[in-house]
A and B are shown apart, each in its own frame.
Chain A
Amino acid sequence: MPALELRGIVKTFGGLRANDGVDLVVQWGEVHALLGENGAGKSTLMNVVYGLQSPDAGEIVYDGQPVVIRRPEDAIRRGIGMVHQHFMLIPPLTVAENVVLGHESARGGMMDLTAAGQMVSELSHRYGLEVDPRARVRDLSVGLQQRVEILKALYRGARLLILDEPTAVLTPQEIDRLFEIVSNLKAEGKAVIFITHKLAEVMRIADQITVMRRGKVVATTTPAESSPPDLARLMVGRPVLLRVEKGPAHPGDVLLEVEALKVEDDLHHPAVEGVDLQVRAGEILGVAGVEGNGQRELVEAIVGLRPAKGRVTIAGRDMSHATTHRRLKDLSHIPADRQQMGVILDMSIADNLVLPDFDRPPFAHWLIRALDSIRAFAARIIKEYDIRAERPEQRTGSLSGGNQQKVVVARELATDPKILIAAQPTRGVDVGSIEFIHRRIVEQRDRGLAVLLVSSELDEVLSLSDRVAVIYRGQIAAVLEGEAIDREHIGLLMAGAA
């Protein structure tokens, strides 16, 4: 009897069919990979199984029984556990509190934390998930937090475990550990659904592979019957270039220089501890690293959004104490968090396209905004960058993620900057837009732009960069060039192991 059988699941958001009649069969004791690019509908499907979203149509059969899952509580009771891509942990609470939350052992309404701690220790031993039950979650590394998530699911008696993009934030070495744990779970007869868009991982761990595209299942296969190029084709519906076409770099003068930079995070803990970097005209310097090793603070300090010690030189001028407004004259910035920092969703596309330059000519004269030139500029950019919009006055929030990101990229490149800081420039963007954005960045590099690329997608860093700096715990572990850029070696550096 299969662990889980989905029949004709449909889920629409507004006009978008996120799931369009999805069928899926998962067996006990099987690792089932759910493969598809961003926006293919994998997470939506699993949210439906877990009761976070209710399907518009379709049937869920769990362990031979048709079931209705309205809330996560229903899923948990039946033995379905889920580890979300963005962890569902509460940072100020302890590991034990997080694990038992919602299913506390209590006497007279009062928590029994000793019992909780013991339960957590027992489970940790059994599955090789060592973690201190009394530690606060906010003090744990990402890899450990993921263990807490898995513990949480096991504590609730999960027999079917859904892992949503579990490797996105891990180092290659942490990924190995995770795969061992997954094997342990499989050996115990549990079913594991492994959501990912990374082909190599699928080939390594999956027993069964289901490929999704645009809300539909396009293939069900096994690693033995398929190859990475086949899977890639299935995923995007056409052959894709896995590498970016680019010629050798011709570096010029140093345009961006960072010396002995020290930055604190939001909780005033040191996040960047003495970073030195140089970016030359006409080159792309990639910063590789597991998320949360100071990348965000580094970028924000360079742009002037976060106080920092040390020196930042932009186009030959010391800008260590300059406002963001002044720095942005020569510097362009594609922020990592598009919806929070990149665009103002409730403003028009035109307004977002002039956001950093709204008060400079030709977009404003004295205090009066030049609406005609703003509109003309927006219309031109929308065409040039193939932004799928009806008119410049359209609300930016109504665009798809990929088109929103094009708005940001277009705006940051259109003003002919000398330096570009691109943080996660293609996060959450469809494959077509990724190619487009990568091509534009390389084009601008060839015209002499100095690019600092910060990305937690190692593949993106490797395929775009001329030099690679590896960041680990707020320090640059190494800067590699040419032949020295080696995937394995970088993985070890990212984990602080070399």
Chain B
Amino acid sequence: MRLVLHWLRQALVPLLSVICGFIVAGFAVFLSGANPVDALVALFQGAFLERNSVSETLIATIPYIFLGLAVAIGFKAGLFNIGAEGQFYLGAIAGTYVGYSLHGLPAIVHIPLAVAAGMLGGLGYAVIPGVLKARFGAHEVITTIMLNHIALAVSDYLINRGPMGDPHASAPKTPFIQHSAELPILIPNARLHLGLLLALAAVPIVWFLIERTTVGFRLRAVGLNQTAARAAGISVGWTIVLVMAMSGALAGLAGADEVLGVSHFMPPTFSVGYGFDSIAVALVARSNPWGIVPAAFLFGSMRSGAGFMQLQTQVSADLISVVQATVIIFVAAPVMVRWLFRLRERPAIPTPLAAQEGAAV
């Protein structure tokens, strides 16, 4: 009972924030001349009521779980990994390559290989900003955003009639992956795949890592007070690289999962805005691994319903960005929500990410 109460209290501000987010977005819709209620109904319908839409919503939830965990791990160490998007790309590229280039393997070998390749791809790409920060103090916000642009350009080059392009296809894309690399379908006649179970398994693993291991302690110490962590003999630079590596591996896993489970090939432009979306997921979940699941489900539902909403009501799918931004505002400014809803308890002001030692934006 006490646990439930505790859980409710934790969830109160995020819940209220989400409500505020929808209200603000509804107002934006109203200003554009459309009916906010219709838009909301269409969004809901698209996410849950149409044929196969629950399955599609869960499919959209999967990458958000991985990416939300990726960003949350970074937050715990005081790192703002906006590079999840780029790491997602690199994971997808690596996963795709292993998926189509290796022949004759049994699925039980091929799938883990492709997944591992994806994780390595994301890991490698995330280690770049990690090292740049640890060694030179380059702020990860700028470097990861630049790396996102570079990842987009590189994958466009690789796939658009480049080395990974499918010479027989009319539109630029990679070849299809081997059947042995495809993630098994969970329910017949729908696209929902094994990735959901992988994502759900990742949650307790990440939780255990953060809360119960020395690695987790190390990264929390660095996140809360770098100076004190260093004075206690913790290598801050190494921890930053390690955290970025773990974060990147999760993001890369999301990318590989998307290819191996859903599309089975990779088009040149693939994920749009996963980088920022995943920040929203992690913030709403307050970087709590368990909280990532409902937050990811929320954003997954929006993403999956947005297309239908745009089709039905002409309200742009970009509306979900408005919801996200508003939700982040309210989650990140608990003072504001508490003031709006007259709640008690003053939250502590956390160490600002913007004022990290030795880094400048």
Contacts and interface: CB of A to CB of B under 8 A. Distances in A.
User: Do A and B have CB atoms closer than 8 angstroms in the complex?
Assistant: yes
Interface of A: 303, 305, 323-328, 333, 335, 337, 340-347, 351, 355-356, 358-359, 364, 367-369, 371, 397
> Contact size class for B?
20 to 34
Nearest to B216: A369
A316 B221 CA distance: 31
9 contacts: A305-B230, A327-B233, A333-B231, A337-B227, A344-B224, A345-B225, A347-B221, A351-B217, A355-B232
B228 interface: yes
A264 to B, nearest CB: 15
Given A324-B233, A325-B233, A344 B228 contact: yes
Given A325-B235, A356-B233, A367-B213, A346 B228 contact: no
Contacts of A358: 214, 217-218, 221, 232
A79 to B, nearest CB: 35
A341 B224 contact: no
B235 A323 contact: yes
Given A323-B233, A328-B233, A356-B233, A343 B228 contact: yes
B228 A369 contact: no
Contact of B231 (A324, A326, A347, A351): A324
Interface string B197-218: 0000000000000001111011
A346 B227 contact: no
Nearest to A366: B214
A355 B228 contact: yes
Nearest to A360: B214
B41 to A, nearest CB: 43
Contacts of A335: 231
Given A327-B233, A328-B233, A359-B217, 13 more contacts: A303-B231, A324-B233, A325-B235, A340-B225, A344-B224, A344-B225, A344-B229, A345-B225, A346-B224, A347-B221, A358-B221, A368-B212, A368-B214
A368 B351 CA distance: 27
Contact of A356 (B217, B224, B232): B232
A367 B350 contact: no
Contacts of A351: 217
Nearest to A335: B231
A281 B227 CA distance: 29
A337 B231 CA distance: 11
B79 to A, nearest CB: 16
A340 B225 CA distance: 7
A233 B221 CA distance: 42
B348 interface: yes
Nearest to A343: B228
A258 to B, nearest CB: 18
A273 B221 CA distance: 33
Contacts of A325: 233-235
Chain A contact residues, majority secondary structure:
mixed
A296 B80 CA distance: 31
B220 interface: yes
Q: Return the 9 tightest CB-CB contacts between A and B, nearest first.
A: A325-B233, A359-B214, A355-B232, A324-B233, A344-B225, A356-B232, A341-B231, A328-B233, A367-B213
Interface string B229-257: 11111110000000000000000000000
B231 A367 contact: no
Given A355-B221, A369-B212, A369-B214, A346 B350 contact: yes
A328 B348 CA distance: 32
Query: Which of A303, A333, A344 counts the most chain B CB atoms within 10 A?
Result: A344
Nearest to A303: B231
A108 B310 CA distance: 55
Contacts of A328: 232-233
Query: Which of A351, A355, A356, A371 counts the most chain B CB atoms within 10 A?
Result: A355
Contacts of A324: 230-233
A355 B217 CA distance: 9
A335 B214 CA distance: 23
B235 A340 contact: no
A357 B213 CA distance: 13
A386 to B, nearest CB: 23
Contacts of B220: 347
A358 B218 CA distance: 9
Interface in B39-55: none
Contacts of A305: 230-231
B317 to A, nearest CB: 39
A358 B217 CA distance: 8
Given A344-B221, A346-B224, A346-B348, A367 B215 contact: yes
Contacts of B221: 344, 347, 355, 358
Contacts of B218: 358-359
A335 B351 CA distance: 20
B214 A340 contact: no
A341 B228 contact: yes
Contacts of B229: 344
A364 B227 CA distance: 22
A145 B225 CA distance: 30
Contacts of A371: 212
Nearest to B230: A305
Contacts of A337: 227
A21 B233 CA distance: 46
Contacts of A341: 227-228, 231
A389 to B, nearest CB: 18
A342 B224 CA distance: 13
